[in-house]
Structure 1
Amino acid sequence: MSAPPSSPGGVSTRQPAVFLDRDGTINEQMGYINHISRFHLLPGVGQAIRRLNEYGLPVLVVTNQSGLARGYFPESLLDEVHAEMRRQLALQGAHIDGLYICPHHPEAKEERFRLTCTCRKPRTGLLEQAAAERHLDLPRSYVVGDRWSDLRCGAAVGATTILVLTGYGRGDAQYIGPTQTVQPDFVAEDLQTAVQWILDRENNKQG
């Protein structure tokens, strides 16, 4: 494994990032988005991501999309949905810096997607891929999502984890969370609240 990039003084130049789940965190939780008409950004998401952009924290989306593996929709629709996500964010002056997708499932209809992979959350493959490609410091990063699988994924790489109560979050917090060993570092009403907490924390570090 190669060493992290460093400045002339020997200090690592790896930076923290904010990893966002997609469904239930960025857009309304619909189960499976099997038509473009089912994609709707949650209120305040564009503003929240724009604040991260302006602060200089990379924003990466990491998402399980087993609906592709199960044959519920084609790859072309997944591409269309993500193009629409980027378009709607751009209208609010926001952007994501990367998009990482796990299309696998052990019971996939198509053989090419039928495997037990290392990238399906709560496994950490997507985060590790992003960190390697973009020189990110995972222990200094944040993982935000509405499911305990997001929290377990983030905790496994030493990241700070945030549960949002949008999507499945409120139900998971009430019915799943009390039995879990892994607990979020912060519980946020929505992505806007999560981003405010992240920025406050980063500013306190610098202070």
Structure 2
Amino acid sequence: MKKAVFFDRDGVINVDHGYVGRISDFEFLDGVFMTLSAFRRLGYLLILTTNQSGIARGFYSEEDFLKLSEYMQSVLKEYDAAFDGIYYCPHHPNAQVLQYKKECNCRKPKPGMFLDAVAKFNIDVNQSAMIGDHAGDLIAAKAAGISRLFLVGNHIQTEKIKVPECICCSSVSECLKYF
């Protein structure tokens, strides 16, 4: 079995400008290249799990998201930091785009994306971790059996109350010291 670090995207990998779905809006956070590469050298798979309700809300298309993901991967590949798997949820129960309007098991805080990745990559959840910037990220990971939970970003004060067993870090780079 393999070990993995799961990451949320907006606010963890890139600056969260709100509904980032186009390359022109995408900006990597400082230290991300070095951090992802370091996790890879430590033997971890890198898995991205991201809610993308901007698709359901009609702010950008699924094709826009896929183009952005391809761009992100091409940049990360230069640093040996590309994700081994990218899982995303385009759904929302109040979607404006009807094809994406539904309750699903993949939208965090539900664990569907994690469970899919665990099955596909034969991941040992006991040796794996999640780094997110909202309680929903960590709740979903915990529901999938991942117990090493890290909270980063601007929402630590309010989100820590919802997931008290998580470790708070100022950035994804700071999380490395716990591995």
**Which bin holds the TM-score, normalised by the shorter protein?**
over 0.9
> TM-score normalised to the size of structure 1?
0.81
Partner SS state of residue 56, structure 1: coil
Match of 1:41 in 2: 28
Match of 1:188 in 2: 169
Match of 1:173 in 2: 156
Give, in whole Å, the separation in 2 of the partners of 1:184 and 1:24.
20
The structural deviation recorded for 1:50 is: 0.5
Q: Among all aligned residue pairs of Structure 1 and Structure 2, give the percentage whose two residues are the same amino acid.
A: 33
1:109-188 mapped onto 2 (5 Å cutoff): 109-159=96-146, 160-165=148-153, 170=154, 172-178=155-161, 180=162, 182-188=163-169
Partner SS state of residue 127, structure 1: helix
Give, in whole Å, the separation in 2 of the partners of 1:64 and 1:34.
11
The structural deviation recorded for 1:177 is: 2.8
Aligned partner of 1:65 among 40, 52, 76: 52
Instruction: Select between 102-111 and 55-64 the one with higher mean Cα deviation.
Output: 102-111
1:3-82 mapped onto 2 (5 Å cutoff): 14-82=1-69
Verify the 8 A CA contact 2:51 2:89 in the aligned structure 1: yes
C-alpha RMSD of the superposition: 1.4
> TM-score normalised to the size of structure 2?
0.93
Cα gap change, 1:138 to 1:72, in 2 (>3 Å)? same
Please identify the structure whose Cα radius of gyration is greater: 1
Cα gap change, 1:184 to 1:86, in 2 (>3 Å)? farther
Q: Which structure 2 segments of 5+ residues have no match?
A: none
Match of 1:9 in 2: none
Give, in whole Å, the separation in 2 of the partners of 1:84 and 1:196.
29
The structural deviation recorded for 1:129 is: 0.4
| 1:92 equivalenced with 2:75 (yes/no) | no
Verify the 8 A CA contact 1:60 1:99 in the aligned structure 2: yes
Letter in 2 for 1:61: L
Letter in 1 for 2:17: M
Verify the 8 A CA contact 2:49 2:86 in the aligned structure 1: yes
Verify the 8 A CA contact 2:151 2:160 in the aligned structure 1: no
Cα gap change, 1:86 to 1:34, in 2 (>3 Å)? closer
Q: How many residue pairs get matched? A: 178
The structural deviation recorded for 1:141 is: 1.2
